Structure formats: C-alpha cells, structure tokens
Structure 1
Amino acid sequence: MIEVPQGFLAMPRWWREGAEWLAGLPGAVQRQCEEWGLTVAGEVAYGSNAIVVPVGEALVLRMTPPGPEVGEQVRALRWWDGRGMVMLYDADLDAGAMLLERLSTPLTTRPVAEAVAVLGQLMRRLAVPAPDDVPSTADIVADRSVAFEREWEDLGRPFDRGILQAALEVAPALSETTSELAVNADLHSDQVLAGTREDWLTVDPVLYRGDIEFDLARVLWTRIDDMTEIVPHFDTAVTEAALDRDRARDWVVFRTVDYWLWGLRHGLTEDPVRCARLVAAF
C-alpha cells in the first residue's frame, strides 16, 4: 500500500471534511491498481485536492474524493483530448480515479516571463469550439456582479469604492459575448507541467465557454510576487494569446475584484494584497 504524504493530509480542504476518504485512500489506490492492472512505480505526489501515483513508465493514477467535480473534469479532459492538455486514458467516477499520462516539471520552476508567455500560448491553444451546455463566462459576470456591492459593504468597505466601481463599469460589456470558444477557468503555473507530446500541458481543467481572457487575472496574480512590473507581463500574455487588449484589461479588473472579495470572505490574507497590487497596475 502507498503512504499518504503528511503534506497532503495537512491541506486546508481536510480541516473540515474528508477524514473517512483519507483513511481509506491507501486501500482505494490498491483496489484501483488491481482493477486496472497497474503497479505503483514511484513516490506519491499531491496537490490541494488529489494525490498522483506513478504507475508503470508513462502513466499516473490520480485519486480525489468522488463527486460532481470529477465528472466535470473528466468531461473537460475528453473534450480537449490531449490538445494542450494532459491525456486521459481511463476514469472511474465512483472511485474518483483517473488514469493520465505522466508529466514532469511544473511551470512554476520557470522564470515568470517565460511562464506567462507559455500560459498565453496555452490560452489560445485551448480555444477550440466549446460544448454549448457548460458555464458561460458572460453568465458568470452577470451573476457575480449583482453581489459585488453587497459583499463589499458586508466586508466593511475593504477597498476604495473607485475600485469596486471600475469592476461594475466593465461588467455589462463582459456579460455579453459572441465567443463560443472553450475556456480553461483554472489556468496558472501550478496547473501546467512539462510533457513529451507537447512542451507544456495543462492539468486539472475547468471547462467554460466564452471569452478566453476570462482567467488572465489568475495567470498574473499567481505569479505577481515574481514581477517587478505587471503591465509588461500582461502585454506578453495578450500578445501570445492574440487577445483584444482592452477587453483583456477589463477582464483582469473584474476577475481580480471578484477574487479579492472572495478571498476576504474566506479569511485569506496574502492574496488580497496581491489583488490590490494587480488592480493598481491598471
């Protein structure tokens, strides 16, 4: 049986849930290996919600708690079918198991300028026609923007009203789009690993449709501590992804304010500071 890493056991997700799943995880990995004819071939790696177990020479077994998110991710992986994305070979939704191609070094190991360029290229590479029944970026803006002022007030007006107003002013335009392209709504350096079929491949996707500028803010705020200046990196992403610069800027403002409010509601302390710096740059 595998040994579950202590770092994974200490992840915030498990502070309030998942004790039973964690206790049964070594046995679940063993059963899945037996079912799929796999042999553990290396040390267990992990993220915030899943462990990844090397099996054989070129595959990994990913295990996460079963639930709707697993089915959504499997659908996303099958939709992109290896285009800029890790390849899915098999899945067991009831077990929360996926059999994936093995990747290596994360993009976080590369300098920020290189990483942002790669992420911009991936934004465009993933922009294939999307299914019409996945969440729309336009609908998300419409739903979230109506809550901004109330949340801002409830949190004690934590930042200048002008910042809030800037996000509300761009919301009407962002809540309309003619784009039907696929959008990965969880794109950042931690979710991109070096591959062999392609230099860099995305993992753990969230499939939306609409404006591919949607997650540009995340591309920036997740590496903002490595940036002396922000706008040049924004320009790199815009160029590499062939984005409309003004619309990309509006998306950065809206999504950063949205995440800022979310982070404050959930007690985050470091990311709201990053959001403040990102908004100030624009």
Structure 2
Amino acid sequence: MIGIPEALVRGTIDREGDRGAAWVAELPSVVEELLERWDCAPDGAVMHGGVGVIVPVRQGTGPTARPRVLKVSFPHPGNVHEPDAFEAWAGRGAVRLHRRDDARFALLLERAHRSTLAALEPADETVMTIAGHLSRRLAVPAPPGLPRLRDRADAWAAQLRADAAELPHTLPPRAVDAAVATARELGRTQPDTLVHGDLHARNILRADREPWLAVDPKGCAGDPAYDGGTLLKSRALNLMRADDLPKTARRLLDVFAEAAELDPGRVRRWAQLHAVQAAFWGRRHGFRVARAGPQLDQVTAVADRLAASLVV
C-alpha cells in the first residue's frame, strides 16, 4: 500500500470532515486497485495537490514501460470535467490523458516534470507570455456537456452585490459596479470555447514533448479571456512588490492578451472582475497563501488596488 502524504490527509479532513476522512481511509486501496487494473507500478515519491494524490508510475513492463502519473482526486463537482478537457485537447498544450475512471475521479496522465512555470518568478512577463501562448492553443471548441460560464453570470453579479452590502470593505462603488457590469455584459454572451478555468503558473509544468504543458483544468466553456484574470490573481505576491502596481498589472495583462491573441480590453475586464471577487473572498474566507493576520491584509489590499485600477 502506498503512503498518503500527511499534508493531504490533514487538509482533506479539515476541509471535508467525516466524508474527507472516509475518502482518505479508502484511498490506498483505491490506488492499489487502479495500479493493477491499468498495469502500472509506482515509480517515485508520492506527491499531492490541493485535492488529490499524484503517484508517478510506469505502465507496462520491461524496456517498453512508459512513464505516467496516476492522479486520484477527492470527489467534487469542480473535478468532474477535468478528463473531458484533456480528451478535447488530446495533448495540444496539455498533458495527454491515457485512462480515466470517472467513478473514482481517477486519471492516468502523461508524466511531466515537477518544475512549474512558477519557478520562473519574478519573471512575470515571461510567465504571462508562456501562459498566453498556451491559452491560445487550449482555445478549442468545447465538447458537449461542459458547464457554461455564461450560466454563472447572474449568480456572480448577485454575489458581488451581496458581498458589497454585507462585508466591511474599502472598494470604491465604481469598482464593484464595473465588475457587476462585466458579469452581466461579457458574462452572458460567452462563446462555446474550452476554457482551462484555473490557468496559473503552478498549473503549467515543464515537459519533454513540449516545453510547457497545462494540468489541472476545471474544464468549462466560455471566454478564453477569463483565464487572464485567473493568471493575474495568482501573481498577487509578486505584485505586492511592484513599484507601480496599476501600471505593472496592465502591462502584464497586455502581454498575456497579445500572446493569447485576445482583445486586451476583454482581458482587463475579466481581470477586474476576478480582483473584486478575490477582494471579497479574502474577507470571507482568507486565501490559501494567507489565512489571517498581516499577510492576509496585504494580499487583500493588493486585490482592492487591482479592482480599482483595472476599471476600464
């Protein structure tokens, strides 16, 4: 039986309670069953992400054995369409999918390196350029059955209004109004294009088949410009050190838009919406990089400044 990283055990139980504890208890036997069924043997240290275990394996035996990774995620609606996205891309800008077990939330994937695009920081323009090129390649027609981001637009607008009314904050009204307008205007009229949904530097890995490949997609249909905001939000700690945050943020979004061949205005509007959502989310829940205390205040302040300065 493989050992489950303690950090994944603690995080899952803290987040999911008894259901998480039951999943963790069953996980070693699930992995063993999948290894046997897919003719795989462990081939390196077990790793983990925020919601799942990742086991480097070799599929097959002898000199023809192929390096893969087995990923088993906690059952969650946000993970349902990950394999659908991989199948649609078929290796175009993302790791290849070799096997799937939807009932187990399990995938057998092409193995990439452990080094992520985040290792290039603070080379933000390079990060945005590489991510933009990948975004362009990932922008293929969405397969049927994926959740449509346009179906969330009204809920986004309603949540923004509720957060603005319920939470103490310093966001200027025009920043909230602009985010609501984006949800109602851009949000309701999005194309049926496959969108990664969580494109950030830690979800882009070094690889052999291509220099960089995307992993961990949410798999949804919508406007590819949406991912520009996700990417910028993930650079918050770097942006804290910028001499001129508004100027730096706009330049980085323009770099992404050019590389992704997207309208810069749409990218900025989506990024501004993401910033307002992040500002409110931080006040309600904290962030993964800062749950409380002075660092949370600093990250929230960056979100506030982005939300105000990116109003188009």
Where do 5+ consecutive residues of structure 2 fail to align? 59-65, 243-247
Question: Partner of 2:105 in structure 1?
Answer: 96
* Deviations, residues 82-138 of structure 1 (Å, cap 9, x unaligned): 111111100122222211110112111113221111111111111111135423333
Show the 5 A alignment for 1:45-124: 45-56=47-58, 57-104=66-113, 105-110=115-120, 111-124=123-136
Q: What is the rounded CA distance, in whole Å, between the counterparts of 2:145 and 2:98 in structure 1?
A: 24
Q: Does 1:238 align with 2:248?
A: no
* Deviations, residues 194-219 of structure 1 (Å, cap 9, x unaligned): 12222111111112222111121110
Q: What is the rounded CA distance, in whole Å, between the counterparts of 1:224 and 1:261 in structure 2?
A: 15
* Deviations, residues 175-200 of structure 1 (Å, cap 9, x unaligned): 34363221111111111111222211
Where 2:81 maps in the other structure, the secondary structure is: helix
| Percent of paired sites with the same residue | 31
Worse-superposed segment, 271-280 or 183-192: 271-280
Where 1:119 maps in the other structure, the secondary structure is: helix
Aligned-residue offset at 1:48: 0.4
Question: Partner of 2:200 in structure 1?
Answer: 188
Q: Does 1:222 align with 2:224?
A: no
Worse-superposed segment, 154-163 or 17-26: 154-163
Q: Does 1:130 align with 2:116?
A: no
TM-score, normalised by the number of residues in structure 2: 0.83
Q: What is the rounded CA distance, in whole Å, between the counterparts of 1:215 and 1:147 in structure 2?
A: 20
Is the 1:187–1:219 Cα contact (8 Å) retained in structure 2?
A: yes
Count of matched residue positions in the alignment of Structure 1 and Structure 2: 282
Aligned-residue offset at 1:13: 6.2
Q: What is the rounded CA distance, in whole Å, between the counterparts of 1:67 and 1:153 in structure 2?
A: 30
Q: What is the rounded CA distance, in whole Å, between the counterparts of 1:20 and 1:248 in structure 2?
A: 41
Where 2:156 maps in the other structure, the secondary structure is: helix
Q: Does 1:274 align with 2:302?
A: yes
Q: What is the rounded CA distance, in whole Å, between the counterparts of 1:274 and 1:46 in structure 2?
A: 29
Q: Which amino acid aligns with 1:19?
A: A
Q: What is the rounded CA distance, in whole Å, between the counterparts of 1:222 and 1:209 in structure 2?
A: 21
* Deviations, residues 51-81 of structure 1 (Å, cap 9, x unaligned): 1111115101111224544442111211222
Coordinate RMSD, CA, aligned? 2.1
Question: Partner of 2:245 in structure 1?
Answer: none
Q: What is the rounded CA distance, in whole Å, between the counterparts of 2:102 and 2:220 in structure 1?
A: 20
Q: Does 1:177 align with 2:205?
A: no
Q: What is the rounded CA distance, in whole Å, between the counterparts of 1:169 and 1:97 in structure 2?
A: 38
Where 2:126 maps in the other structure, the secondary structure is: helix
Q: Which one of 26, 29, 37 corresponds to residue 27 of structure 1?
A: 29
Where do 5+ consecutive residues of structure 1 fail to align? none
Q: What is the rounded CA distance, in whole Å, between the counterparts of 2:145 and 2:33 in structure 1?
A: 34
Q: What is the rounded CA distance, in whole Å, between the counterparts of 1:235 and 1:82 in structure 2?
A: 27
Cα separation, partners in 2 of 1:85 and 1:150, compared to 1, 3 Å: same
Cα separation, partners in 2 of 1:47 and 1:243, compared to 1, 3 Å: same
TM-score, normalised by the number of residues in structure 1: 0.91
Worse-superposed segment, 119-128 or 150-159: 150-159
